[in-house]
Amino acid sequence: MSETIRTRYAPSPTGRMHVGNLRSALYEFLIAKHEGGAFLLRIEDTDQERYVEGAVDIIYRTLETAGLLHDEGPDKDGGFGPYVQSERMKTGIYMEYAKKLVEKGEAYYCFCDKERLESLRTEVVEGKEIMLYDKHCLGLSRAEVEEKLAAGVPFVIRQNIPNEGTTTFHDELYGDITVENAELDDMILIKSDGYPTYNFANVVDDHTMNITHVVRGNEYLSSAPKYQRLYDAFGWESPVYIHLPLITDETHKKLSKRSGHSSFEDLLEQGFLPEAVVNYIALLGWSPEENREIFTLDELIEQFDYRRISKSPAVFDYTKLKWMNGEYLKAMDPERFFELAEPYLRAVIHRDLDLKKIAAMVQTRIEIFPDIAEHIDFFEALPEYDAAMYTHKKMKTTAETSLAVLCDVLPLLEAQEDYSNDALYALLGGYVAEKGVKNGYVMWPLRTAVSGKQMTPGGATELMELLGKDESIARIKAGIAKLGGNV
RNA sequence: GGUUCCUUGGUCAAGCGGUUAAGACGCCGCCCUCUCACGGCGGAAACAGGGGUUCGAUUCCCCUAGGAACUGCCA
């Protein structure tokens, strides 16, 4: 298999990974793995200004918890290293390649200072400025360039793009895209600090690392022609391009850290499961052949056909993510659910109750773990509630009937020793049958008394089993008192 | 402003010339039920507009409109 697919995820270490980046990484991973190819991680830290301490670790951690294990990377040499651009720069690779371009006339030294560049800037409309470099330094003679270099004048190296003609590149999803060369700016390849720009390092690295499929967000679609010209200038075969549709927020703006959109880690902190997030974002911009939505990572690898990636942007729908997280929770093994839920349970319940049973009650009722609190708070302490809660039209109960029922049933419950759900249900079932009333007629007041809540994660008898005899009786008496009865 | 891309229900989306235009989330209703939830059943809700091409356009082409991205010595 000499034609093995190689994709790469090439983030800048600038903080947490937001969802858009993670989705790119996921697709890059899936495209490679679907074909049994390699997925590499390359750190693009050519911007020392934006570099954030510890960000590389965040990237490792995020990829690992998302399950997107890379085959090669800074911590996993595959023979194409280094995998960190600042380290690659020390080898002189970028300058070396830039000079090749200069020799070919495809790039040139530029000594223009900030002031001159500023003067080229023109305002187009309300504050928006554009700048197309005027190729001023392209006119410098070889001798002039040598002289300035020798004198130590700061310089950058720019790509030389002709003013005539067009450039075309091919994208697997978007097809052929052609632009006028005159529209293309002579972008900077090597910055004055000697670092390559993203644009240049990206092309050099993708080529030298044998990346076969360049997969990235389609915000790069408009600069792709410039990259294409670089490949052509070097005489390199261009990679397969796959530009991904953007993920946006509800106002249809691109998701970005800058705008404060949730990162993967934010979502985990909000109580989402990594596998649910991964599953959800896989479906943002791609759909499987079969009509299905829940996929494990392995199933995604199996199913992922990049030709089914869509071209239009997708809104990140928090509500649906929650639903999907809930699906994962419901399908989860009860033991594992309990392990994950336990901290949330303990945060609310400090008394000695059967937390496993409570976890089981709550498993089908929550979408994310933080939802647990509102469902179980009454176990810890009977909340303040209004006597009006005893009135329920469908149950045909009122404060009066409730009082009567509670008074009737109290002695039975006091005499009862077995407080298991089944035994209690049988006991009360007897009362219901004897009185010829509906279940709810007695269960509603009981559940209300015992929980003080409109809705609970279990029925009256289930709650009493958990609360135990003493606490149940105490709460029922409190209910009777609240309804004006004597205990 | 320029360039490029995008346009099926509120959202994710199937569709790839002929369909009653799937499905999912959300919403509404019913059933189940010791409340709620789960589960089951059902409902409202879409091809941006205009021209072509064609026997026939949601599907192909053009125009218009709307949206987005890019337009940094950031990626």
Select from A412, A472, A414 the least CA-distant residue to A446: A472
Are A476 and A406 contacting, i.e. CB atoms less than 8 angstroms apart? yes
What does the pLDDT average to over A279-292? Answer: 97
CA distance A289 to A55: 37
Residue closest to B4, CA→C1'? A222
Say yes or no to pLDDT of A1 above 50: no
The pLDDT, as a whole number, for residue A249 is 95
Closest nucleotide to A321 by C1' from CA: B25
Nearest nucleotide to the CA of A323, by C1', is: B25
Which nucleotide is nearest, taking the CA of residue A453 and each C1'?
B35
Give SS3 for A367.
coil
Q: Which of A112, A9, A90 is nearest to A46 (CA)?
A: A90
For A186, counting Cβ atoms within 10 Å of its Cβ (0-12 exposed, 13-18 middle, 19+ buried), the class is buried
Cα dihedral: A443, A445, A446, A451 (round 10)? 120
**β-bridge mates for residue A168, sequence order:** A178
Q: Which residue has the tokens 């995604």?
A: A300
**CA A141 – CA A149 distance, rounded (Å):** 12
Q: Is the per-residue pLDDT at A197 higher than 90?
A: yes
Provide the pLDDT for residue A129.
86
Q: Answer yes or no: are the C-beta atoms of A158 and A111 closer than 8 Å.
A: no
Q: For residues A351 and A345, what is the distance between their CA atoms, to the nearest angstrom?
A: 11
Q: Residue A169 CA to nucleotide B21 C1', Å?
A: 35
The mean pLDDT value for A96-108 works out to: 97
pLDDT at A130: 87
What whole-number distance in Å separates Cα of residue A208 and Cα of residue A83? 11
User: ipTM score here?
Assistant: 0.96
Q: What is the mean pLDDT of residues A254-266?
A: 87
Helices (H) and strands (E) in chain A, counts: 20, 13
CA gap A209, A11 in Å, rounded: 16
Nucleotide closest to residue A280 (CA–C1')? B12
- Band of residue A48 on the pLDDT scale cut at 50, 70, 90: confident
- Which residue is nearest nucleotide B2, judged by alpha carbon to C1' distance? A183
Task: Tell me how crowded residue A123 is: count the other CB atoms within 10 A of its CB.
Answer: 9
The nucleotide minimizing the C1' distance to residue A131's CA is B71
Q: What is the pLDDT of residue A126?
A: 76
Q: What is the rounded average pLDDT of the residues A147-154?
A: 95
**Which 8-state DSSP code applies to residue A139?**
G
Give me the DSSP letters along A79-100.
SS---BHHHHHHTTHHHHHHHH
Indicate whether A2 pLDDT > 60.
no
Contacts for A408 with CB less than 8 Å, ≥ 6 apart: A431
CA A331 / C1′ B23 distance in Å: 21
Instruction: Output the distance from A413 CA to B35 C1' rounded to whole Å.
Output: 20
Average pLDDT of the segment spanning A370-385? 97
Predicted local confidence at residue A50, as pLDDT: 86
CA of A328 to C1' of B48 (A): 37
Nucleotides of B under 7 A from a protein CB: 1-8, 10-15, 22-26, 33-39, 67-75
In whole angstroms, give the CA distance from residue A12 to residue A451: 52
Q: What is the DSSP letter of A183?
A: G
Q: What would the pLDDT profile of A32-42 be if each residue is shown by its tens digit?
A: 999 999 999 99
Question: Is pTM, for the whole model, over 0.90?
Answer: yes
pLDDT at position A3? 67
Q: Which two tokens stand for residue A68?
A: 């997107």
Annotated catalytic sites of A, by residue? 257
CA A304 – C1' B19 distance (Å)?
27
- What's the mean per-residue pLDDT of chain A? 95
pLDDT band at A127 (very low <50, low <70, confident <90, very high): confident
- A304 near A31, Cβ under 8 Å? yes
- Please count the other Cβ atoms lying within 10 Å of the Cβ belonging to residue A125: 7
What is the CA A337 to C1' B39 distance in angstroms?
Answer: 20
Percent of all residues in chain A with a pLDDT value above 90, rounded to a whole number: 91
Please name the residue whose C-alpha is nearest to the C1' of nucleotide B1: A124
